[in-house]
């Protein structure tokens, strides 16, 4: 199994001395969807320096599961969290350098925070940066 550090494309996350990333959580309401492709929407968490700085959501465009990795890549997503994920879809995410975390249940924000905690524990992100001036940059 690949570590989270290897799974997350570090080159795409480096920004002004910190880590900038977008986490998409496949959701139904405010809970992680049981299956990625059947979710109502994607809660998007914009992260800088290990902290969620902004939240938004995007309706699931109803594309075939194999098309959703491309859709989320265009949204500049670095990681996807969901309940269930098919093998081919997971492979497509990997090819695009997007990390996946399947088998997750519960509240979407908690899932995103737990993912960030895992990254911190593996040394992939640090929280010792000034985040005061970057809120508008997280798009």
135, part of any domain: no
Question: Residue 69's domain is classified under what CATH number?
Answer: 3.30.420.130
Q: Output DSSP code: residue 37.
A: G
49, part of any domain: yes
pLDDT in tens, 80-101: 999 999 999 999 999 999 999 9
Say which residue the tokens 């199994």 belong to: 1
Q: Which residues have CB under 8 Å from 29's CB, separation 6+?
A: 40
136, part of any domain: no
| Closest by CA position to 124, among listed 73, 78, 57 | 78
13, part of any domain: yes
Q: What is the pTM of this model?
A: 0.78
Tell me what pLDDT residue 19 has: 63
115, part of any domain: yes
**Domain total in the chain:** 1
65, part of any domain: yes
134, part of any domain: no
Domain, as residue range, for 65:
4-127
Tell me what pLDDT residue 35 has: 92
d(CA 43, CA 58): 7
14, part of any domain: yes
Cβ atoms of 9 and 97 within 8 Å: the answer is yes
């Amino acid at each position: 199994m690949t570590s989270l550090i290897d799974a997350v494309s570090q080159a795409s996350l480096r920004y002004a001395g910190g880590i900038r990333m977008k986490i998409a959580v496949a959701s139904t309401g405010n809970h992680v969807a049981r299956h990625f492709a059947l979710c109502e929407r994607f809660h998007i968490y914009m992260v800088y320096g290990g902290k969620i700085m902004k939240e938004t959501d995007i309706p699931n465009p109803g594309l075939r599961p194999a098309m959703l990795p491309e859709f989320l890549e265009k949204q500049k997503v670095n990681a996807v969290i969901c309940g269930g994920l098919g093998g081919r879809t997971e492979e497509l995410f990997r090819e695009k350098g997007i990390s996946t975390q399947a088998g997750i249940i519960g509240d979407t924000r908690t899932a995103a925070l737990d993912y960030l905690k895992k990254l911190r524990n593996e040394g992939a992100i640090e929280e010792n940066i000034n985040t005061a001036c970057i809120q508008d940059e997280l798009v």
